[in-house]
Amino acid sequence: MTQPQLSNIRGPAEVLRQPDQASAEQAETTSGLPKVWAILEERAGDDNQVINLVAALGWPCEFKTPLFRMRDVVIHRITGRIAGRPGQADLFKPPWPDMVVTIGGRSSAAARWVKLQSRGRTKLICLGRPWAPLHWFDLVVTTPQYRLPNLPNVLQNTLPLNRLPAPAEVPSADRWVSAIEHLPSPRIAVMVGGSNGNFRFDRSVAVDMASRVDALARETGGSLMITTSPRSDPEAGKALLESVRAPHIGFLWRPETKAQNPYSEFLQAADHIVVTGDSASMIAEACATRAKVSLYELPETLPTRLMNGLARLANGSDTYPDLHGPRPWIDRLIAAGCWVPRRAMNRLHQQVLSRGRVARLGEEPSETSDISDLEMTLRRIRQLILEQNEAAKPAAT
C-alpha cells in the first residue's frame, strides 16, 4: 500500500497517517470525525488531487492502492464482486468508512461495492469521470473536458484539485536548486506534456515550441527551465532542448530517472510558466503558483479536428461550441454509464482563459489569483456528511 508524501498538501497532515501509525492521542483527537478511505491509482496527477482533497478535509484517512485493471472493472459490473490480483479484496474490509474518495474509472466499482456492503451508509465521492452510472455516487467532482451532464450530484469545477507537488526527496534535488539559483531572471518554467487523443506533440511541434519560448526568454532577458513528462516523445523532447539558445537547464523524463524530475522545483522557482494544453493537471498545478501562466496550444489530432468541425457546424458558429447545450438523449446515456464522451480539452481551455488566470503564449493574463474550486468542493462534501448525520439522529418524541 502506498503512503503518500505529506509535505505538498494543505491541511492537518497528521490525520492522513495510516491508522496503525497514529498515536493514541491522535486517535482520540480524530475519533469523532468522519472516517475516509482514499483509493489511489498510482498516477501522479490523479493521486495528487485525492491527497489534496482529503488533506483539506482534515478527516482521518486510510489510503488504498488496489491497482485494478479495466477487465477487473468489467468483472465487477457483471458479477458484483471485487476482482483483481490475489489479496485485492482484502484491502476492503469492515469497519466501513463514512466516505470513499476515488478518481477515474478503475476504482469506481470497488467504491460502489463498499457502499453496498455498508447498506448505503458510506458516501461515495468520485473525482474526474467515473466510467460508471453517475447515480452510484453521492458527488461527482468533474471539470469541463469530461462533458458530464449537469445533475444534482455533479459539481462542475473549472480545474482539477491539483496543488503544487512536493519537491523530490533525492540527492539530485539540491543540484537542481543550485542550478536554478544561477539562472537569470525572469525564470520561465516550460512544462511539456505530449500526444494524446486530443493533441499531437512531435518533433516539428517541439521545434516550434522551442522557438517561441526561446524568443520569450531573449525578449525578457530571462532563462528557461524545461522538463518533459511520461507522455512526451523522447525524440521530440530532445529536439526541443537542442533548439533552445537562451540560458536554460533541462530534464528529459525517462522511467529510470523519474525520481530526479525537477518538476516541482521548476514550478516553485518560476516567475512565468509555459504549459502545454494536453494535461489538465499540469495547468492546475501551474495555476496553484503565484507565477504568470501561459498556455501553449498543441495542434489537434485529425479525429479531434473532425469532431470539433462537426460540432461547429451543428452549433452554427466558428467558435468551439458549448457542448453543455441541450442534448437530453446524450446526457441520459452518459448518466447511465453507457457512453463516455471523448475528452474536450478545448472546453477547459476556454474556461481558464475566460477567467484571466491563464493566457495564450504571447498574450498577457489579466488575473494572477488562484482559481481553485477546492473550497466549493469541501462545502459540498461536508454538507453530505452533515445531512447523513442529521438523518441518523433519532426522531424527537
Q: Out of 241, 276, 296, pick the residue that ends a domain.
A: 296
- For the record, the C-alpha cell of 282 comes out as 499540469
Residue 65 is predicted with a pLDDT of: 86
Strands 61-64 and 292-296: unpaired
Query: Has residue 366 been placed in a domain?
Result: no
This prediction has a pTM of 0.84
Q: Which residue has the higher pLDDT, 169 or 175?
A: 175
Helices (H) and strands (E) in the chain, counts: 13, 12
155 and 142 in contact (C-beta within 8 Å)? yes
Considering the domain architecture, whether residues 265 and 184 belong to the same structural domain is answered as yes
Query: Has residue 47 been placed in a domain?
Result: yes
Considering the domain architecture, whether residues 157 and 207 belong to the same structural domain is answered as no
In whole angstroms, what is the distance from residue 286 CA to residue 103 CA?
21
In whole angstroms, what is the distance from residue 226 CA to residue 253 CA?
11
Q: How far is CA 148 from CA 116, 133, 342, in A?
A: 24, 11, 11
Considering the domain architecture, whether residues 139 and 257 belong to the same structural domain is answered as no
In whole angstroms, what is the distance from residue 226 CA to residue 250 CA?
5
Residue 9 is predicted with a pLDDT of: 30
Considering the domain architecture, whether residues 224 and 149 belong to the same structural domain is answered as no
Q: Out of 244, 267, 296, pick the residue that ends a domain.
A: 296
Backbone φ and ψ for 257, nearest 5 degrees, come out as -120, 15
Considering the domain architecture, whether residues 82 and 28 belong to the same structural domain is answered as yes
- Confidence grade of residue 375 (pLDDT, cut at 50, 70, 90): very high
Q: Exposed, middle or buried, 208 (CB in 10 Å: 0-12/13-18/19+)?
A: middle
* CATH value at residue 221: 3.40.50
Q: Which residue has the higher pLDDT, 240 or 320?
A: 240
Evaluated on CA atoms 153, 390, 34, 162, the torsion sign reads positive
Considering the domain architecture, whether residues 141 and 186 belong to the same structural domain is answered as no
Query: Has residue 238 been placed in a domain?
Result: yes
Query: Has residue 321 been placed in a domain?
Result: no
Considering the domain architecture, whether residues 42 and 72 belong to the same structural domain is answered as yes
Query: Has residue 95 been placed in a domain?
Result: yes
Residue located via cell numbers 493521486: 47
Considering the domain architecture, whether residues 158 and 189 belong to the same structural domain is answered as no
* Cβ neighbours for 374, distance < 8 A, ≥ 6 positions apart: 52, 53, 56, 161
Query: Has residue 342 been placed in a domain?
Result: no
Query: Has residue 17 been placed in a domain?
Result: yes
Going by C-alpha positions, the residue among 14, 106, 105 that lies closest to residue 54 is 14
Determine what percent of the chain is predicted with pLDDT higher than 90. Answer: 58
Q: What is the pLDDT of residues 109-120, one digit of tens each?
A: 889 889 999 999
Q: What is the pLDDT of residues 282-319, one digit of tens each?
A: 999 999 999 999 999 999 988 888 877 776 676 554 44
* CATH value at residue 46: 3.40.50.2300
Going by C-alpha positions, the residue among 151, 142, 141, 74 that lies closest to residue 110 is 74
Long-range contacts of 366-375 (CB under 8 A, 24+ apart): 368/290, 368/292, 370/287, 370/288, 371/158, 371/159, 371/287, 372/159, 372/161, 372/163, 372/284, 372/287, 372/288, 373/155, 373/157, 373/158, 373/159, 373/161, 374/52, 374/53, 374/56, 374/161
Considering the domain architecture, whether residues 126 and 185 belong to the same structural domain is answered as no
Going by C-alpha positions, the residue among 182, 279, 168 that lies closest to residue 228 is 279
Considering the domain architecture, whether residues 192 and 146 belong to the same structural domain is answered as no
The HSE-up count of residue 103 (CA atoms within 13 Å, CB side) is 27
Considering the domain architecture, whether residues 184 and 132 belong to the same structural domain is answered as no
Determine the average pLDDT of the residues in 188-199.
94
When divided into structural domains, the chain yields a total of 2
Determine the average pLDDT of the residues in 140-158.
95
Q: Out of 296, 314, 346, pick the residue that ends a domain.
A: 296
Considering the domain architecture, whether residues 80 and 193 belong to the same structural domain is answered as no
Angle at 201 between CA 195 and CA 206, to 5 degrees: 155
Determine the average pLDDT of the residues in 69-73.
70
Query: Has residue 289 been placed in a domain?
Result: yes
- Confidence grade of residue 379 (pLDDT, cut at 50, 70, 90): very high
Mean pLDDT (the chain, rounded): 84
Backbone φ and ψ for 17, nearest 5 degrees, come out as -70, 150
What is the extent of the structural domain holding 383?
A: 13-163+374-392
Residue located via cell numbers 462534501: 381
pLDDT at 274 > cutoff 80: yes
